[in-house]
Structure 1
Amino acid sequence: MIHTTVGQLGHFFVILSFVTALVATVGYFLSALGRKTAVEVESVEEPQLAYAGESSFGGKVARKKAKPVTQTSVPPARDDWRLLARWSFYIHAAAVVGIGSSLYYIIYNHYFEYHYAWSHSSLALPVQYMISCFWEGQEGSFLLWLFWDALLGLILIRTSGSRWEAPMMAVFALVQAFLASMILGIILGDTFKIGSSPFLTLKEAIPDAPVFTMDPNFIPKDGNGLNPLLQNYWMVIHPPTLFLGFALTLVPFAYCIAGLWRNQPLEWIRPALPWTLVGAMVLGVGIMMGGYWAYETLNFGGYWNWDPVENAVYVPWLVMVAALHTMLIAKRSSTGLKTAVILTISTFLLILYATFLTRSGILGNASVHSFTDLGLSGQLLIYLLAFVAMAVALTVSKWKYIPSDEQEASVYTKEFWLFIGATVLCLAAFQVIATTSIPVYNKILESFGKISNLALPADQIAHYNKFQVWFFVAIALLTGVGQYMWWRKVENKKWDALITPGILTLLISAGLIAFGEIKNPVYMVLLVASIFALMTNGTILLGIIRGNYRLSGGAIAHMGIALMLVGILYSAGFSKVISMNNSGLLISKQDEFTKNDNKENKENTLLWLNQPERMGQYQLTYRGQRIEARDVPGYIPRKDVTVIEGDFHGIAMRDIEQNGKVYHKKGDTLALYPENTYYEVEYREPSGKVFSLYPRAQVNERMGLLASPDTRHKVDRDIYTYVNSVPDPTAENKWEKTETYSVAVKDTFFLNDFVAILDDVVRANEVEGMEIGPSDAAVRAKVRVLDKNGEHILSPAFVIKNRMVAHPAEMSDELGVRIQLNEIDPRSGKFTFAVNRTQRDYIVMKAFEKPLINILWIGTLIVVLGFLIASIRRYREFRKMGVKEI
Structure 2
Amino acid sequence: MIHTTVGQLGHFFVILSFVTALVATVAYFISALGRRAVAQPVVVEEPQLAYAGGASFGGKTSRRAVSNKATASPEAAPRDDWRRLARWAFYIHGLAVTGVGVCLYWIINNHYFEYHYAWSHSSRALPLQYVISCFWEGQEGSFLLWLFWNALLGAMLIRTSGKTWEAPVMTIFALVQAFLASMILGVVFGDTFKIGSSPFLLLSEAMPDAPIFTADPTFVPKDGNGLNPLLQNYWMVIHPPTLFLGFAFTLIPFAYCIAGLWRNEPYNWIRPAQPWTLLGAGILGIGIMMGGYWAYETLNFGGYWNWDPVENAVYVPWLVMVAALHAMLIAKRSSTGLKTAIILSITTFLLILYSTFLTRSGILGNASVHSFTDLGLSGQLLLYLMAFVVLAIVLAVVKWKHIPSDEKEASVYTKEFWLFIGATVLCLSAFQVIATTSIPVYNKIMESFGKVSNLALPADQIAHYNKFQVWFFVVIALLTGVGQYLWWRKVENKKWDALMTPAILTLLISAGLIAFGSIKNPVYMALLVASVFALMTNGTVLLGVIRGNYRLSGGAIAHIGMALMLIGILYSAGFSKVISLNTSGLLISKQDVFTKNDNKENKENTLLWLNQPERMGPYQLTYRGQYIEARDVPGYIPRRDVTVIEGDFRGIAQRDIEQNGKVYYKRGDTLALYPENTYYQVEYREPNGKVFSLYPRAQVNERMGLLASPDTRHEADRDIYTYVNSVPDPTADNKWEKTETYSVAIKDTFFLNDYVAILDDVVRTTDVEGMDIGPNDAAVRARVRVLSKNGEQILSPAFIIKDRMVGRRAETSDELGVRIQLNEIDPRTGKFTFAVNRTQRDYIVMKAFEKPLINVLWIGTLVVVLGFLISTVRRYREAGKMQRKVA
- Tell me how far 1:406 sits from its aligned partner: 2.7
State the alpha-carbon separation in 1 of the partners of residues 186 and 47 from structure 2. 53
State the alpha-carbon separation in 2 of the partners of residues 372 and 79 from structure 1. 45
Return closer, same or farther for 1:606/1:566 CA change in 2, 3 Å cut-off. Answer: same
- Tell me how far 1:49 sits from its aligned partner: 11
How many residue pairs get aligned? The number is 878
- Tell me how far 1:53 sits from its aligned partner: 3.4
Amino acid corresponding to residue 259 of structure 1 in structure 2 = G
Q: Which residue pairs with 2:10 in the alignment?
A: 10
- Tell me how far 1:70 sits from its aligned partner: 5.5
- Tell me how far 1:758 sits from its aligned partner: 1.0
Amino acid corresponding to residue 73 of structure 1 in structure 2 = A
State the alpha-carbon separation in 1 of the partners of residues 712 and 68 from structure 2. 63
Q: Which residue pairs with 2:54 in the alignment?
A: none
Q: Which residue pairs with 2:21 in the alignment?
A: 21
Q: Is the 8 A contact 1:119 1:223 kept in 2?
A: yes
Q: Which residue pairs with 1:73 in the alignment?
A: 72
Q: Is the 8 A contact 1:309 1:358 kept in 2?
A: yes
Deviation by residue 1:795-835 (Cα, 9 ceiling, x = unmatched): 11122222222221011010010001111222222211110
Which stretch of the first structure deviates more once superposed, 519-528 or 799-808?
A: 799-808
Q: Which residue pairs with 1:627 in the alignment?
A: 628
Alignment of 1:70-149 (within 5 A): 71-74=70-73, 75=75, 76-149=77-150
State the alpha-carbon separation in 2 of the partners of residues 884 and 174 from structure 1. 31
State the alpha-carbon separation in 1 of the partners of residues 301 and 661 from structure 2. 38
Alignment of 1:392-471 (within 5 A): 392-471=393-472
State the alpha-carbon separation in 2 of the partners of residues 774 and 198 from structure 1. 68
Alignment of 1:219-368 (within 5 A): 219-368=220-369
- SS of the residue 2:408 aligns to: coil
State the alpha-carbon separation in 2 of the partners of residues 806 and 674 from structure 1. 33
- SS of the residue 2:264 aligns to: coil
- Tell me how far 1:409 sits from its aligned partner: 2.3
Corresponding position: 1:856 with 2:857? yes
- Tell me how far 1:50 sits from its aligned partner: 7.0
Q: Which residue pairs with 1:734 in the alignment?
A: 735
State the alpha-carbon separation in 1 of the partners of residues 112 and 597 from structure 2. 49
Q: Which residue pairs with 2:777 in the alignment?
A: 776
- SS of the residue 2:318 aligns to: helix
State the alpha-carbon separation in 2 of the partners of residues 308 and 71 from structure 1. 46
Q: Is the 8 A contact 2:753 2:816 kept in 1?
A: yes
Q: Is the 8 A contact 1:442 1:451 kept in 2?
A: yes
Amino acid corresponding to residue 192 of structure 1 in structure 2 = F
Q: Is the 8 A contact 2:28 2:83 kept in 1?
A: yes
Deviation by residue 1:319-359 (Cα, 9 ceiling, x = unmatched): 00000000001011111000000000000000000000000
Amino acid corresponding to residue 53 of structure 1 in structure 2 = Q
- Tell me how far 1:593 sits from its aligned partner: 2.0
Alignment of 1:438-587 (within 5 A): 438-587=439-588
Which stretch of the first structure deviates more once superposed, 460-469 or 736-745?
A: 736-745
State the alpha-carbon separation in 2 of the partners of residues 179 and 94 from structure 1. 15
- SS of the residue 2:771 aligns to: coil
Return closer, same or farther for 1:528/1:146 CA change in 2, 3 Å cut-off. Answer: same
Alignment of 1:533-682 (within 5 A): 533-682=534-683
Q: Is the 8 A contact 2:245 2:284 kept in 1?
A: yes
- Tell me how far 1:408 sits from its aligned partner: 2.2
- SS of the residue 2:712 aligns to: strand
Return closer, same or farther for 1:678/1:71 CA change in 2, 3 Å cut-off. Answer: closer
State the alpha-carbon separation in 2 of the partners of residues 618 and 783 from structure 1. 32
Amino acid corresponding to residue 814 of structure 1 in structure 2 = E
State the alpha-carbon separation in 2 of the partners of residues 613 and 62 from structure 1. 73
State the alpha-carbon separation in 2 of the partners of residues 265 and 70 from structure 1. 16
Q: Which residue pairs with 2:30 in the alignment?
A: 30
State the alpha-carbon separation in 2 of the partners of residues 70 and 200 from structure 1. 50
Q: Is the 8 A contact 1:60 1:407 kept in 2?
A: no
State the alpha-carbon separation in 2 of the partners of residues 859 and 706 from structure 1. 31
- Tell me how far 1:779 sits from its aligned partner: 1.5
Q: Is the 8 A contact 2:478 2:533 kept in 1?
A: yes
Return closer, same or farther for 1:54/1:446 CA change in 2, 3 Å cut-off. Answer: closer
State the alpha-carbon separation in 2 of the partners of residues 383 and 247 from structure 1. 15
Amino acid corresponding to residue 778 of structure 2 in structure 1 = A
- Tell me how far 1:42 sits from its aligned partner: 5.9
Return closer, same or farther for 1:665/1:67 CA change in 2, 3 Å cut-off. Answer: closer
RMSD of equivalent CA atoms: 1.8
Which stretch of the first structure deviates more once superposed, 228-237 or 804-813?
A: 804-813
Which stretch of the first structure deviates more once superposed, 296-305 or 590-599?
A: 590-599
Percent sequence identity over matched residues?
84
Amino acid corresponding to residue 72 of structure 2 in structure 1 = S
State the alpha-carbon separation in 1 of the partners of residues 67 and 526 from structure 2. 53
Q: Is the 8 A contact 1:160 1:884 kept in 2?
A: no
- Tell me how far 1:258 sits from its aligned partner: 0.5
- SS of the residue 2:832 aligns to: strand
Return closer, same or farther for 1:749/1:528 CA change in 2, 3 Å cut-off. Answer: same
Q: Is the 8 A contact 2:49 2:335 kept in 1?
A: no
- Tell me how far 1:472 sits from its aligned partner: 0.8
- Tell me how far 1:280 sits from its aligned partner: 0.2
Return closer, same or farther for 1:865/1:72 CA change in 2, 3 Å cut-off. Answer: closer
State the alpha-carbon separation in 1 of the partners of residues 124 and 798 from structure 2. 43
Q: 1:53 aligns with which of 38, 48, 51?
A: 48
Q: Is the 8 A contact 2:125 2:674 kept in 1?
A: yes
What TM-score do you get using the length of structure 2 for normalisation? Answer: 0.97
Q: Is the 8 A contact 1:820 1:834 kept in 2?
A: yes
Q: Is the 8 A contact 1:59 1:407 kept in 2?
A: no
Amino acid corresponding to residue 750 of structure 2 in structure 1 = F
What TM-score do you get using the length of structure 1 for normalisation? Answer: 0.97
State the alpha-carbon separation in 1 of the partners of residues 330 and 205 from structure 2. 55
State the alpha-carbon separation in 2 of the partners of residues 833 and 654 from structure 1. 27
Q: Is the 8 A contact 1:34 1:78 kept in 2?
A: yes
Amino acid corresponding to residue 840 of structure 1 in structure 2 = R
Return closer, same or farther for 1:191/1:885 CA change in 2, 3 Å cut-off. Answer: farther
- Tell me how far 1:59 sits from its aligned partner: 9.5
State the alpha-carbon separation in 2 of the partners of residues 241 and 62 from structure 1. 39
Return closer, same or farther for 1:528/1:67 CA change in 2, 3 Å cut-off. Answer: closer
Amino acid corresponding to residue 427 of structure 2 in structure 1 = C
Deviation by residue 1:856-886 (Cα, 9 ceiling, x = unmatched): 0000010011001000011011111135866
Q: Is the 8 A contact 1:764 1:779 kept in 2?
A: yes
Alignment of 1:141-220 (within 5 A): 141-220=142-221
- SS of the residue 2:266 aligns to: coil
Deviation by residue 1:145-194 (Cα, 9 ceiling, x = unmatched): 00000000000000000010000000000000000000000011221110
Q: Is the 8 A contact 2:292 2:305 kept in 1?
A: yes
Deviation by residue 1:762-799 (Cα, 9 ceiling, x = unmatched): 22222112222222222111111111111100111122
State the alpha-carbon separation in 2 of the partners of residues 507 and 664 from structure 1. 61
- Tell me how far 1:405 sits from its aligned partner: 1.2
Deviation by residue 1:4-34 (Cα, 9 ceiling, x = unmatched): 1110000000000000000100000010000
Amino acid corresponding to residue 584 of structure 1 in structure 2 = G
Q: Is the 8 A contact 2:633 2:664 kept in 1?
A: yes
Amino acid corresponding to residue 535 of structure 1 in structure 2 = M
State the alpha-carbon separation in 1 of the partners of residues 232 and 554 from structure 2. 36
Deviation by residue 1:653-705 (Cα, 9 ceiling, x = unmatched): 00000011101000111111130000000000001110000000000000000
State the alpha-carbon separation in 1 of the partners of residues 743 and 144 from structure 2. 71
Q: Is the 8 A contact 2:611 2:815 kept in 1?
A: yes
